Amino acid sequence: MKGLTALAAEVRRDLARLNHPPAPWTLPVTGPDGRPALDVLVVGAGMCGQTAAFALLREGVANLRVIDQAPRGAEGPWGTFARMETLRSPKHLTGPDLGIPSLTFRAWWEAQAGEEGWRALYKIPRLDWLRYLLFVRDTAGIPVENDTRLVRLWPAGGLIGAEIEGPGGPETVHARKVVLACGRDGSGGRRMPAFARGGEGRLFHSSDPIDFARFRGGRVAVLGASASAIDNAATALEAGAAAVTLFVRRAYFPQVNKSKWAAFPGFLRGYAALDDARRWAFTTALMGEGTPPPHESVLRCTRHPNFAVRFDEGWTGIAEAPDGLVIETPKGRYPADAAVVAIGFDIDLTRRPELAEFRDAVLTWGERVAPAEAAAHPEAARFPYLGDGMQMLEREPGRLPELGLLHVFNWGVTLSHGALAGDIPGLGIGATRLAQALVRDLFVSQADAHFPRMMAHEDAELEPTPFFVRREAR
């Protein structure tokens, strides 16, 4: 498309004017296998992962790899299990652009629809947001290795060892830093009630791939009051389900989205500077209020006469029947051809199999507050307690220092730093803060390794230039 071609050229001119990418400055580090180590391994190439990588590239950290287990275009939820028609956020928000006007969604939209098209746009269509993210990736030159998954991580003598598996087969790499940007699922795992077992091909989590057309003319039950629950119900209705029932454990939908209040720059930049007591109080209060589903999503369901909501009626069991499922609640039993659990994801990094060798050492918020507070807010208590650079901290200092080389950049940052990874309003602030912390740590470790030799003039190659600048090839 001519408009996007011209915009891409404009973006590259703007990046060149900003001296992007700057000259690499990190010095080589050798891993225990004798091969060069990465400066940073970014795990996850969705919105958060690619923006974190972009921020690192802008700081001259080019010795990195960005991997994602999904094929191109299936990173994150946008082209997979997100089933809303438009984003929840206002169209004017920025983030993936990192402050470059020609890389904003508005610039991308106007390149195709003009200024009048921008004025006419209400909210961003979901799949257009995905296309925009891919445009940013390609135009900014963010390297992504798709179909490549992280298998496990381990401490490796001041580095992190990583087993990854991609199209070329298994591979071991070592890195000075690892950024975990694996999305909501990467923060812990899908939340499913203990009784939600069996039901092969009929019982789903909202993040599963679901062919709703299979249940055309059938009955679909959805558990949850979130936007995701409403969107799954709407998708089932639009696919021709004869009846869709939403079961809500609350007596009514949450009425006010208080978390939107916390999306202004002062909060996003200042929250991490608050003491533990205030951070805990702020976030547990917001979590306790819940988030109302967007009114557009609710209207998308209520325009169908075969949609019903049963408030104050959570599920207590799911039984298999010869021709489907039976949903059990304290008030009755309901036959269904399919059931969708839409109650979100757990925050619990200890559940992640790739972190098995670190999980016993991770400090959590539950260990930073009074036992009664942790018991009253068990979900919040499982959040990792992160350092100023979003790095994991040890429960027992000195036991596993390599833990601090793992940086979280997904929903797990929320209690420690606010919503800087996962929601669009805080993304640019979060990615910039993360990159600055990694650059600081990489520089300090490099200084520790090379400064004494430079001062003693033991390395003639380093002597004529600052130790932190890589010498140009001659």
Walk along the chain (474 residues) and give the pLDDT tens digit of each residue: 579 999 999 999 999 999 999 999 999 999 999 999 999 999 999 999 999 999 999 999 999 999 999 999 999 999 999 999 999 889 999 999 999 999 999 999 999 999 999 999 999 999 999 999 999 999 999 999 999 999 999 999 999 999 999 999 999 999 999 999 998 877 788 889 988 888 889 999 999 999 999 999 999 999 999 899 999 999 999 999 999 999 999 998 888 777 777 889 999 999 999 999 999 999 999 888 878 888 899 999 999 999 999 999 999 999 999 899 999 999 999 999 999 999 988 888 778 899 999 989 999 999 999 999 999 999 999 999 999 999 999 999 999 999 999 999 999 999 999 999 988 999 999 999 999 999 999 999 988 877 776 666 555 454 444 444 444 433
pLDDT score of 351: 81
- Answer for the pair 148, 69: CB distance below 8 angstroms, yes or no: yes
Q: Which two tokens stand for residue 371?
A: 């036992």
Per 3-state DSSP, the chain is made up of helix, strand and coil in percentages (nearest 5) of: 40, 20, 40
Output the pLDDT for position 471: 41
Residues 6+ apart with CB under 8 A from 98: 51, 54, 55, 58, 428, 431, 432
Tell me the DSSP string of 162-192.
Answer: EEEEETTEEEEEEEEEEEE--HHHHTEEE--
Report pLDDT for 454: 60
Please give the Cα distance from 432 to 271 (Å, whole number): 15
Give 305's Cβ-side CA count (13 Å radius): 0
Q: Look at residue 64 and give its three-state secondary structure.
A: strand
Count CA atoms within 13 Å of residue 282 on its CB side: 23
* Residue 62 contacts residue 21 (beta carbons within 8 Å): yes
